[in-house]
Structure 1
Amino acid sequence: MTFKQKISSAKWIQILIFYILACLLTFIFTKFPNFIKNLWISIFSLEAPFSWNHGIGLLLATLLCYLIFKGNNRTSILGSKPVKSLLIAALYLIFYSVFGLSNNFGINQHVWALIFCSSMLVYNIFEETAWRGFLHDRLAKVPTWLKGIITGILWGVWHIFIFENFNQFGGLQNFVMLTILVSIIMAYAVKKTNSILVAASIHGLMILRNNYVTIICLVLWTVLIITWEKDNLMIRRKTAYNNV
């Protein structure tokens, strides 16, 4: 298949409709009261230091597009190897819990790390269902590196509806360059695993930057992802050998 044919395989109209709807619902939901903050106050008597409103709007747009545009979806929450996907998420939660996160709530830093990272992982699934789920699948046979660039641009620009400014990144252009880089990494990870949970775990690791946890997780995750289909390969070789 030529490069032009690969580009033509993408569902561009669906992608455009999805992105317009995603931006629209994200903008609308950011005007609503902070759902997660109110929930945490009622359950834990804590004011959550984050809002999920934009993620809820994005998830709703994604689910609507899944309902409207039927198709063969390769990606799923747990991907082609559910146990390995769960292990990748578990490693992220375990190592952050071991190292801990400081907080102003008087909660043990290890307990808070587990609570905060678990909550973040759930939220990241909201986002990654859109970017590395629906969008990744609708880009079809577009080369993986280009999927990462396209997704990274759309993902980065979408944050205009969330952040007041991008000064901490040195401007919007620098932030979009960052989202492109991360998207390329996640595009290859999703190509290998078909797992939204894997992408959500990588997303969380990129936001919370503890050098020790980052190094440990990246090493272990790289091994898991590289050997993702190794058991299938061994089974095929054994079957072929037995058939000789």
Structure 2
Amino acid sequence: MTDKITTNPVSWKRLLIFFIIATAVSNLFRFDVFNIHPAIQKLPTWLSIFVFALLHPSGVLLGTFIVMPFLRKERRVEMSLFGTSKQKSLLMCAIPIVLLTAIGVNNDYKLENHIYAFVAIIGTIVYCIEEEYGWRGYLQEELKGLKPWAKYLIIGCLWYVWHLSFVHDRSIVHNLTFLSLLIFGSWGIGKIAETTKSVLASACFHLIVQIMMLNSLFRHSPDKTTKFVIFVVCVGAWFMIFFKWNKTRSTSN
């Protein structure tokens, strides 16, 4: 039997190039090295949200675009934007957009709540898609020959370092909690990616974490109860789609 590791060898050099680009470029914008945040904030609110959403994870996307052609020359890459079902990917994405827009999000930008919610959720999805192209679209494909525990551990640790959270938060407890969350997320979202081959489906599960805990656009609104309802509705609907997706995949195989 051919060893899976020899079938899908890892190029650590390629991985390192990806990670250096991802971390360096993204954090130039996240730490505002060029002092462009004030200029962006003067733009119309909807446009500034999209610009920040595009720039902050841009290194991950750029790194993926640079190294992916070399990976494709070696072997078939299964991950794509819509994966094995464009219809199911778009349906998964539509659920939080419709739900958040209908609920509305209070904001300090003097935008009507439902309009702001629509802009914020679209911007966050764009952000998540950019990240997922790197962590699942490239990195999980690069490491697919490794044992699952090693693959997800490496992705989670690199994902943690990329954030550079330890630069502005020195709390050991907070950093270990964040690291654990990203390793667990790498496993959970990784399983979604393995089944769907969809960057967009992976981004949806990334999105719900952003809404619940991490994203400043939703920090004070909706309230905790509403966020919990959004979480239950979205994840419940997504898993129904996911199980149907998995069943279709099993039948086709």
What range describes the TM-score normalised by the shorter chain of this pair? 0.7 to 0.9
Contact 1:98 1:110 in 2 (8 A): yes
Alpha-carbon separation, structure 2, partners of 1:73 and 1:234: 22
Candidates 53, 67, 80, aligned match of 1:76:
80
Which residue of 2 is the match for residue 51 of structure 1?
52
Q: Greater CA deviation, 82-91 or 226-235?
A: 226-235
Tell me which structure has the larger Cα radius of gyration. 1
Whether the aligned pair in 2 keeps the contact of 1:88 and 1:198 (CA below 8 Å) is yes
Match of 1:87 in 2: 91
1:1-31 C-alpha deviation (Å, 9 max, x unpaired): 6988379733333222221232232344442
**TM-score with structure 2 setting the length:** 0.79
Report sequence identity in percent: 26
Pair 1:32–1:62, CA change in 2 (3 A): farther
2:166/2:175 contact within 8 Å kept: no
Matches within 5 A, 1:136-155: 136-155=140-159
3-state secondary structure, aligned to 1:140: coil
Alpha-carbon distance change, 95 to 74 in structure 1, aligned in 2, over 3 angstroms = same
Give the letter for the 2:241 counterpart: L
Any stretches of 5+ residues in structure 1 without a counterpart? 237-244
**Change beyond 3 A, Cα 1:213–1:102:** same
Distance 1:235 1:69 in 2: 27
Superposed, 1:200-219 pairs within 5 Å as: 200-209=203-212, 210-219=227-236
- Closer, same or farther: CA 166–134 of 1 in aligned 2, 3 Å: farther
> In the alignment, which residue of structure 2 is the partner of 1:124?
128
Give the equivalent residue in structure 2 for 1:224.
241
1:135 aligns with 2:152: no
Q: Specify whether residues 73 and 232 from structure 1 end up closer, same or farther in structure 2 by C-alpha distance, changes over 3 A only.
A: closer
C-alpha change, 1:81 and 1:13, in structure 2 (3 Å) is same
- TM-superposed CA distance for 1:45, in Å, is 7.8
CA deviation vs aligned residue, 1:16-75 (integer Å, no higher than 9, x gap): 22212322323444423447x745744458764983433112211221112344342111
Deviations 1:193-216 (A, max 9, x none): 011111111111011121001011
Judge conservation of contact 1:26–1:161 (CA < 8 Å) in 2.
no
Q: Deviations over 1:150-192 (max 9, x none)?
A: 211110111107962265x943221111111111110000000
Computed over aligned residues only, the root mean square deviation of the Cα atoms, in angstroms, reads 3.1
TM-score normalized by structure 1?
A: 0.82
Classify 1:164/1:129 alpha carbon distance in 2 versus 1 (closer, same or farther; 3 Å): same
Of the structure 1 ranges 219-228 and 92-101, higher mean CA displacement relative to structure 2 is found in 92-101
CA distance in 2, matches of 1:144, 1:205: 24
